[in-house]
Amino acid sequence: MTVASTPRRRLARSALGVAAVAAIAATTVLSGTAQAAGPTYLTDMRTGQHATYDRVVLDFSTGVPAYGTTTTSGLENCGSGKPITFPNSAAYVELDIASAAHDPNTGQPTYTGPRTVVTNLPSVTGYAITCDFEGHLSVGIGYKSNVREVSTSILTNPSRVVVDVKR
């Protein structure tokens, strides 16, 4: 499996790189560029199934914040330390995002959907907000062993980060 960042930027595929991703529990593998001029907040998350990949989409209020990803063998809630798992997951990717799922001035949620979702997709097993604290948002995505590549891209109008999990 390789992990790639787009637009048009990919990590080199090598036996050493694949072994490193499989062997290391947590390695930062890519990052996005901040597109938002000011504070932006998570407003929605959803999945979609396509012929050769599953997609997880994170919508943001006003521009796409800076983010990075980490491939890991497990997820945990940043507040409690309790593990977050999804059935049939072989690995996880966690997005570390310079954003929040709530308005820090009012404390009101900007994302009102479920914090943890188990999916029935061919590759994605589920997703969860693993942390939403002091302008730091983390979202974890579980996936099965049939995955050959995970890539991210930024889309605008509306502002979103797209994670494609390719079979």
| Per-residue pLDDT at 33 | 52
Name the residue among 63, 47, 64, 44 with its Cα closest to residue 55: 47
If 0-12 CB within 10 Å is exposed, 13-18 middle and 19+ buried, where does residue 15 land? exposed
* Amino acid letter for position 105: N
The residue among 48, 45, 88, 93 whose CA lies nearest residue 68 is 93
Q: What is the DSSP letter of 166?
A: E
Residue 7: per-residue pLDDT = 34
Distance CA 103, CA 110 (A): 6
| 27, 11 contact by CB (below 8 A) | no
Provide the pLDDT for residue 39: 86
3-state SS assignment for residue 53:
strand
- Phi/psi for 155 (5° steps) reads -125, 155
Whichever domain contains 35, its CATH number is 2.60.40.3500
Task: Tell me the whole-structure pTM to 2 decimals.
Answer: 0.79
Domain coverage including residue 81? 2-166
Amino acid 5: pLDDT: 42
Instruction: Flag residues of the chain having pLDDT under 50.
Output: 1-31, 34
Residue 59 corresponds to which tokens in the numbers above? 């919508």
Q: Indicate the SS3 state at residue 17.
A: helix
Which two tokens mark 8?
Answer: 């048009």
Total domains present in the chain: 1
Q: Which amino acid is at 86?
A: F
